[in-house]
Every structure is written in structure tokens, then in C-alpha cells.
Chain A
Amino acid sequence: MLKLKKYKNKPFSLFLRIIVCLSALITIGILCTLILYIVIKGVPNITPELFAWEYTSENASMMPAIINTVLMTGLALILAVPVGVFSAIYMVEYAKKGSRLVALVSLTTETLSGIPSIIYGLFGYLVFVVALGWRLSFLGGAITLAIMVLPTIMRTTEEALKAVPDSFREGSYGLGAGRLKTIFKIVLPSAVPGILSGVILAIGRIVGETAALLYTAGTQAKIPESVFESGCTLAVHMYKLMSEGLYTNQAYATAVVLLVMVIIINMISGKLAKKLQKNY
């Protein structure tokens, strides 16, 4: 309150300060309202039956969807992480700065990260369901998601590799190691926290994704027996519960589980990013 004196003759400055603070309050207020609302309404609806192994029309269990989410995340990451990391290695360690290829790869990566998930969904549907004739399949969904998270993994890995000091590389070359050995034994290990925080960001997107999966992996609430069967993740499961209109309570419970997952993922990613900053 001491500060108020400062603004006695400057009402406009005071006004600016007030609206700036107000906006910050609104932002954090929205987040708190959202989380509190969903937790308060959702937690009482979480029952042990919702975690039964089988989904039936009487008991809309989310267990199959949770397991599917884990499987889908794993499958999409297996596809996306090697490509993303290798691509970043090429961009940082091999490519000449300012070459045409680098510019083109950067442009396309940026384009990929701007494409909305529904377009990925349509694309996946056209390629895997229609052109390849796989019907609604887990693998089709996973490949679609892998392309979707590729730019996230590429960009964070690039940043992490760039943050490794050149002296590390020079030291390694000085000791007689080749390029490959330098990359895998020296550069990559130092960049691991950065790469991981990108991977976790990607996990967050996969867990929350609905539009890209609806018409690629489908909505069947069952753990698929092979990658060519349909299976829905938790977010898709929640959409289904909401659109059917019969399972509002279950939708609340699902929202809580999704939200908790996302909060945990965010916390881990934040911790890792901080660790990276401390390193250098």
C-alpha cells in the first residue's frame, strides 16, 4: 500500500498496473476454477467399479482405456523418438549451417507443428483406413500421433544438443574418438534431460489427444489383441461418454483421471527442464 503514494499524480500508470495484475489474476483464476471444479465434482464419482478390467454397457469402466492410453503412448513414442532424435542429430551435428536442406526441414517441421489434430485425424483416416485398408487400427492411430509429436521431439532435442558446449566435442575428438562415438558417448548423454523433457511434452499431447484418434484408432473400449484392431484411449473414451449423454458421472471421473495424468506429466517435464538449466 506504500506504493500507492507513487501513483498520486499518475492515475493512468495506476490503471495500467491494475489491469496488468487483473489479467494475471484472471489467468490463474481460470486454471484454479477448472481444476477445483473437476476435482470436486469428479472425485466422488470415482468408484472401484470404474477400474474393472472389462467395459460393459452397465459399467463404463475406464480401465481398458487407461491401458490403451499407455500402449498407444508407448507405440507412438517408439516410432517418433528415434526419428526425431536422429533428425535433430543431423540438423545440429552434420548439416552445414544455412544449407537449403536445413531451411526446408525447419520449414516443414514448423508446418507440422501448426497443423491441427483434426487434419492429422483426416490424413490418418485417408492413409491407413482407406488407402491401406487397415480399418480402424491401433497402429494407424499410433503412426498418426507419431507424426503429430515429431516436431515437438525434434525441436527440444535440437535445443538440447545445441546447449552441449563445443568443448565437450573437441575434447572427445582430441582423445581420438570418431564422430559417431562422440555423438553417442559424449553429446547425447549430456543432452538427455532436454530430450526427455521433450518426450514428456509429447506424452502429454498423446494422452490428451482426441480428434486425431477418433477416425484412425476408433472408439472401441477394449484392449486390442493386435495392433490392427481398434482401441480407444482415455481422452477418446471421455468424448464417447460425453456424446452419449448417459454417463455424465463417469465422464467427471474420467476427467479427473485425465487431469491428474496431465498434471503429473507437466511436473516431471518442468523438473527435467530445470535440471538441464542447472547443468551448464
Chain B
Amino acid sequence: MANKCKEKAMHALFLVAACMSILAVAIICVFMFANGVPAITKIGFIDFIFGKEWIPNQNIYGIFPMIVGSVYVTAGAIIIGVPIGLLCAIFLAHFCGEKTYKVLKPAVELLAGIPSIVYGFFGLMVIVPIMQNIFGGSGKGVLTASILLGIMILPTIISVAETNIRAVPKSYYEGALALGDTHEQAVFRVVVPAAKSGIMAGVILGIGRAIGETMAVIMIAGNQPMIPDGITSGVRTMTANIVLEMGYAAELHREALIATGVVLFVFILIINLLFSAVKKKGV
């Protein structure tokens, strides 16, 4: 009898634990929206999202430059990170021997484990001076941020793409060889296209990482709250906006920052939905 009670109690405990992640997502949504949405209505939805000026001491809160900034650096990161990441994944899956793989794979995993603050520091000390030498100016801006973010999303893209390229049945590759393709042609024209939707899922995951990255971007993006007019001009992302001003903001200013978080959160939710849609298609 005691045993049966124990079984039942533990069953219930496990169930409660499983519901924790549902609870966590629900609480996060409630707190973010409940705190952010009033500010958006107070400022005015159009003024907030499409307002081109962010001047907190005059109570002007338009986050359009930050939205554009986030989109720019994310796009830049994708342009830089995806080709290198995808090719590297192809190398891991089809071009390297076991010995090379044993070195390269842990290296990619380590790249994923390096904290973003260390990436930011590296960007500030190495990439920024290089940019200063080439383009003049402060060296901080869209291009610098794109390069560093491109590096940071590499491991995400590599590991997802590699898994999906490996999942393509071997018969595809062999069939292409039998029809007279070289190894390269078979891989690029048959195997990689077959893994298309899995690779797409990896890219979407990379977009999510890049748009949500904070600490590294702050160090190297320049952080001017203006729409950048070139790839070397400074830029402020939504994430940077929150961290930079949260420390001293009060009242409507603080609420506007939380609302910036809400806009970012909505972006992330959309990206997440896209990710699961693409992943399902792949299976």
C-alpha cells in the first residue's frame, strides 16, 4: 500500500516537473507583455516602432533605428557566417579524414562554448583596430559587429548543417557517383540540396542567436541610436539599448526599455515559430 502511494506521489512530482517549462514560458510572456505593452500604448504604437528618434531626456522614444540596427547586423552576420559555416559543415561531413575530424569537431564545440563577453573583448582589441586602419574613424560599426556575430553563429550553423547533411541517405551520393559525378559534384549537387530544409533550420537558429546577442555587440557596434548610413557607421541594436540604459533609467524611460525587450521577444517568437515549421518540413 505504502509502495503504491509512493509510486503515485512520484508520478505526480514528475508531472509537475514536466509542466515547469510550460509554466516558465507562460510567466515570461505574462511579465514581458504586462510590463512592456502599457509603455507602447502610452508612447503610441506607431511613434514607438517607427519613431526615428530616441531622446530619453525629452521623453521621445522611437526604436526604429534600433530595429533597423538589429536587422542590419543580423543580416551582415548571416552573409558572413552562413557561407563559411555551411562549407565547413560540408568539409566535416564529406571531405575530412577521421583524424582531422577529431581535431576540428571539438574545436567547433569550443567555439560554441566561448562566452560572448570574451568574443566582445576579442572584437574590441583585435577587429576594431583592424577596421580603424582600413576605414579610419572609430572602427566600431555595422561591419565590425557583422564580422564578430558571423563568427559567433558559426558553431550553430556548422553543427546543425553537419547533422542534416549526414542524415542524407548514402544512396543519394552513390547514385550521383554512379552517374559519373565527381565527389565534389555529388556532394554539392545532390547531397547538400537534399539537406536543404535542415540547413535552413540551422540558418534560422543562427538568425535567432545573432539578433539576441548582447554583450559582444555592445563592445563593438558604436551604439549611436541613429539609423546607420553606411557599413562603417555606428549602430545600436535593441539588445544594446536595453543593457546600456537599464542601469539608470526610471519611469517611462525604463518602461520604454522593457518595451524594447518586448519587441525583441516578439521577433524571437516569430523566429522560433519559423524554426519549428522548417524543422517539421525536413522530417
Interface on A for B, CB 8 Å cutoff?
6, 10, 12-14, 16-17, 19-24, 26-28, 30-31, 33-34, 37-38, 41, 82-87, 89-91, 93-95, 101, 104-105, 107-112, 114-123, 125-127, 130-131, 147, 150-151, 154, 178-180, 204, 207-211, 214-215, 235, 238-239, 242, 251, 255, 258-259, 262-263, 265-266, 270
Contacts and interface: CB of A to CB of B under 8 A. Distances in A.
B121 A13 contact: no
Given A82-B17, A107-B276, A238-B121, 10 more contacts: A30-B111, A85-B17, A104-B22, A116-B213, A122-B246, A122-B258, A126-B31, A180-B7, A242-B219, A262-B110
Of the candidates A85, A104, A114, the one having the most CB atoms from chain B within 10 angstroms of its own CB is A114
Of A101, A118, A119, most buried by chain B (CB within 10 Å of CB) is A118
Majority secondary structure, B binding face? helix
A20 B91 contact: yes
Contacts of B96: 24
Nearest to A7: B182
B239 A235 contact: no
Contact of A127 (B22, B27, B92): B27
Contact of B31 (A21, A41, A131): A131
Interface residues of B, number: 86
9 contacts: A10-B182, A13-B184, A16-B184, A34-B119, A38-B121, A87-B18, A94-B15, A116-B211, A259-B118
Residues of A contacting B: mostly: helix
A28 B91 CA distance: 12
B270 to A, nearest CB: 11
Contacts of B25: 108, 111-112
Contact of B110 (A109, A121, A178, A266): A266
Contacts, number: 244
A207 B117 CA distance: 11
Given A16-B188, A21-B95, A105-B22, A180 B84 contact: no
Nearest to A102: B18
Interface string B75-95: 000000001111110111001
Contacts of B86: 23
B14 A118 contact: no
B214 interface: yes
Contact of B268 (A90, A116, A270): A116
Given A37-B122, A95-B18, A208-B117, A180 B10 contact: yes
B18 A101 contact: yes
Given A118-B212, A180-B10, A208 B114 contact: yes
A2 to B, nearest CB: 15
A114 B122 CA distance: 25
B276 A122 contact: no
A178 B247 CA distance: 54
Contacts of B95: 17, 20-21, 24
B1 interface: no
Contacts of A239: 117, 215
Contacts of B15: 90, 94
B87 A265 contact: no
Given A90-B17, A210-B116, A116 B31 contact: no
B41 interface: no
